[in-house]
Chains A and B, each alone.
Chain A
Amino acid sequence: QQPVQSPQAVILREGEDAVINCSSSKALYSVHWYRQKHGEAPVFLMILLKGGEQKGHEKISASFNEKKQQSSLYLTASQLSYSGTYFCGTEKWNSGYSTLTFGKGTMLLVSP
């Protein structure tokens, strides 16, 4: 039930674009994206909700395709500060509550 992320790693030069994908074998209610820098805690980037609503805090965009059960994170004109590991988390519903199941992450390295 763990979502599958691709690619596993990306190396970019500053200013280039990248797309990170997250796929699930189960129906998605929402997808959460986090970024973790080396040795630090994961930090929330954005959440995509069923129905198209998107909530985020940074200048990074994402899409959510419910039919294909996948989400994509778009990093355009990448900056050095974008380096880190990106995780997607998909909601798993239980009896009256939900938890997140995270993918194994996509490592992004942006070089000057």
Chain B
Amino acid sequence: DARVTQTPRHKVTEMGQEVTMRCQPILGHNTVFWYRQTMMQGLELLAYFRNRAPLDDSGMPKDRFSAEMPDATLATLKIQPSEPRDSAVYFCASGNGDTQYFGPGTRLTVL
């Protein structure tokens, strides 16, 4: 049963530190999405890749966030420097058509 995997599952860090979250999409999927989920805002799209090329990062704070896909099996989301307001659950999802398959998420807490 193919699944999207994400690491780490939980991360606690101090303000100002760099945070890197990783995602392995389902093999064969050509789209990858990064979402942030908070109680206040719900699910917000941060970045969208198709065939490893970034198509949309309009939802991402450009000064501190960056997203990359160094190869077809790995997508990364980095925050540098992290701030308390970045505390949230970050989901990666992959797809190859209409459906998106979400990973288990990384719960980030910035103190």
**Contact with B102, one of A43, A55, A101 (Cβ below 8 angstroms):** A43
**Contact with A42, one of B43, B45, B48, B55 (Cβ below 8 angstroms):** B43
**Which of B4, B42, B56, B105 has the most A CB atoms < 10 Å from its CB?**
B42
Q: In the complex, what distance in Å separates the CA atom of A47 from the CA atom of B45?
A: 19
**In the bound complex, do residue B43 and residue A41 qualify as a contact, i.e. CB atoms below 8 Å apart?**
no
Closest chain B residue to A104, Cβ basis = B42
Chain B binding surface, main DSSP class = strand
Near A by CB (< 8 A), chain B positions 55-97 give 55-56, 91
**In the bound complex, do residue B98 and residue A30 qualify as a contact, i.e. CB atoms below 8 Å apart?**
yes
Which stretch from A20-28, A64-72, A73-81, A92-100 is at the chain B interface?
Answer: A92-100
B residues near A87, Cβ cutoff 8 Å: 42-43
A residues near B33, Cβ cutoff 8 Å: 99
**Which of A2, A32, A44 has the most B CB atoms < 10 Å from its CB?**
A44
How far does the Cβ of B67 sit from chain A's closest Cβ, in whole Å? 14
Do A103 and B98 form a contact, CB below 8 Å, given A41-B91, A97-B50, A97-B55? no
**In the bound complex, do residue B45 and residue A32 qualify as a contact, i.e. CB atoms below 8 Å apart?**
no
How far does the Cβ of B23 sit from chain A's closest Cβ, in whole Å? 12
How far does the Cβ of B5 sit from chain A's closest Cβ, in whole Å? 11
**In the bound complex, do residue B48 and residue A99 qualify as a contact, i.e. CB atoms below 8 Å apart?**
yes
**In the bound complex, do residue A42 and residue B91 qualify as a contact, i.e. CB atoms below 8 Å apart?**
yes
A residues near B99, Cβ cutoff 8 Å: 32, 44, 47
Interface residue ranges, A against B (CB under 8 Å): 2, 30, 32, 34, 40-44, 47, 55, 87, 94, 97, 99-105
**What are 22 A-B pairs at a CB distance below 8 A?**
A2-B42, A30-B98, A32-B98, A41-B4, A41-B91, A41-B102, A41-B104, A42-B91, A42-B102, A43-B102, A44-B99, A44-B101, A47-B99, A87-B42, A94-B55, A94-B56, A97-B55, A97-B56, A99-B45, A99-B48, A100-B45, A103-B42
